[in-house]
Structure 1
Amino acid sequence: MGQPRVGQPPPVAMTMTERQDPDRRAPPALNEPSTAPGRPAPRRAAPSRIGALLRGLVLRDRPLYVHFAVTSRCNLRCRSCVIWQRQTADEIDLPAIAELSRTLRRSGCVQVSLGGGEPALRADLPEIVATFLRAGLRTRVLTNGVAFTPELARALLDVGLREVSFSLDSLVREVQERRDGTTGSFERRIRNLVALAEMLPERGVLPLLNVVVTPGNLGELPELVALAADLGFWLSVIPIHLPPRRDSPNGGAPHPFYGEAPDLGFGGGGRDDLRQAFTELIRLKRRGAPVVNSTSFLRRSAEFLASGSALWPCRAGELFLSVGPDGMVAPCHAFEDRWEVPFSELPEALRSRAHRQEVKERVAGCEGCFRPCWAEVSFMVLEARSLLEMTRVQATARLRRRRVDSGEVLRRAGLAGETAR
């Protein structure tokens, strides 16, 4: 299988439908003015997320969710991550991204999350978002928030972005900046977060506050739930994962999200504090607090953090996929150095029984993880309760008016009364 050159889209083979009906082909090029300034880009109607998940109950071999790392560049030096140590200039350009978006749509994809690295470092991020929206894909941007300025937020909202995941692990400046491996990141992140919260529409959006759970912030989780409520956001917890590297599915190469930070792990043992913390999150969720994770995910997160074992039905390569900055597709991040195909060959690979069997065998040999972007997709397709819980979250986001208390957010972060630096 040939790999497309960086900066150029792979050759596109016209389907029979496209030959018979040219109007079914690609949307206008990005350099063609298709909208007035400040107006969202015209696009196909994005499929209902819940309806698509219901379809997934029948078509379980379709990649409903795709994570696309638009860059490996990052402005932080997080101790639990090594992406910033492997920064590369290999990033596909806008024409190739446009073809990627159409390929994913044809392959059955429903939602694309744009991450990195830090996606805000790509100057063309608004155009990238507009491209996926035009293809009819639900599109979310994952950001650490430090470079997610009000100007960038406005540009993204103007092209139609309505889903953002914003990372914040602690309301204690020293704790957060030690995690970031930088100084000065905390205040910029908080002020950008407040600005975004104030710009988002009152209804019809599902902004997330992503929190990586470690021993250092376990006791902060209720406060972070309250912060999410003050922002009009939903909390999404991510269990820290720091497994041994020697059994990596990359044949010994470090997993992109595994850093050398043993103090951030929980180690072995029963860990009553873990069970209590996640039991409290479940209680808050049942009382109506904005916690987006499913009950199944929250329960198993405590088990995973205590034991390091990931006991869930991973469907990598079937229900979800990962696309690297260079446009190469893999079952998930852990396999980014092996089993890659150019995205132009994705539909053929998905139809290949031998290819699907190869993926299953590789996934079966993986040491496992417990990232919500992967696990929750499996839970929603395989468990009725998780699907119902997400249906409720989506309905609430659509109908309930968001309320933002910027002053309370700044107070919680210790920035009340301070002038922005």
Structure 2
Amino acid sequence: MAAVEIKVPSAGESVTEGILSRWMKPDGARIKSGEPLFEVETDKASTEVPAPADGVLKIGVAEGETVEVGATVGTIDPSGSPAGAPEAPKETAGKAEPAPAEAPSTSTSAAPQAPPTPAPTAGGDGPMAGEPSPSARRLAEEEQVDLKSVEGSGRGGRITKEDVIGAVEARGTSPAPSAPAAPPSPAPTPTPTDGASRTGRQTRQRLPLIRQKIAQRLVQAQQTAAILTTFNEADMSAVMALRGKYKDAYKEKHGVNLGFMSFFVKAAVEALKAFPAVNAQIDGTEIVYNNYYDVGVAVSTERGLMVPVIRDCDSLTFAGIEKTIVGFAKKARDNKIGVDDLQGGTFTITNGGVFGSLLSTPILNPPQSAILGMHSIQKRPVVVDDEIVVRPMMYLALSYDHRIIDGREAVSCLVRIKECVEDPERMMLEI
């Protein structure tokens, strides 16, 4: 029975390639159709690809390699035997026939015989013994390691990335950098992954494709948009009192907690309806006014910032918004957020307050024209009816593209959001 090719599936219209980040089954393993087989990391999301058939896996592309959509990365042999499984003995006339012993050499020549050619790994067309994997070869070039001095620990003696890392560590010194080292970053050092190269006092690892794309989009936003930020603050007393009063009954009826984000999503929709330019975008020399309200909610994951989109927020209830957010959070934990979850969006809300941020200036998420930043709630003295009182206050920030949104519209939009949050009953009654 012919082997079944394993291909990289399409992950969206704009996605043409990705990185095969990891195989979830080892080479030579027996797998079942539908089992998670490998993971492809694109600039938008990470996708688990299931096995297309039952059989024995033959890996054709190493982890860490860039692959195009539609490319073949391996095969599945429906009639193959798992790696390491003994072959069944041949039978003759009902009796097992022992495998023939290797015949001794009959050569009488005194000349020494050439060493045997290394045999390929299981599968017949696999890598030769001592041949480095693509990732091992790339790392060896970066770290100036002579592959002839490295002993392979992979199948058939193949040199793996881990073998090269071991050789670098055994050497005890890292190669001289080609350029002066950059000053240390004040940000916390990320936890090294299994694919990291540790040399002396540094740890080097590949920048994930999604972080490369984030970097490109942030730079694009800074270079193409005229970004300004306006600030205000909201008294969270009414929202906190409402949540405290109904949280148990709400959880019992809807199965989710009543969070702050649903209030801000609803408040944003009311403000966007009042100021359509904030929900619009620039397309060449035209302004595109969006008559729908798809709000992206920025979430931080181990792979970087993602902005899944809550569709048609104007038609959703508070419970509908909360359930959608809970679903995105679960997908993020399970690394299952797909491209469709991230595409589109007319406005974004980001909550730096969950990390303790008191104030920030969020960056636009192109091609959107505005983004709302939420922050920590702190008790502060404020003046209410000519009296100084202590209230739970939150700073709000609205960054906007001044090419399409005037200052008056931006300030008025943020004031509208503030008013809705401070008087949630009015927002719920849509007055």
Q: Could you tell me the TM-score, scaled by structure 2's length?
A: 0.22
Q: Could you tell me the TM-score, scaled by structure 1's length?
A: 0.22
Larger helix proportion of the pair: 1
Larger strand proportion of the pair: 2
Q: Which has the higher contact order (CA 8 A, sep 6+)?
A: 1
Bigger-Rg structure (1/2) = 2
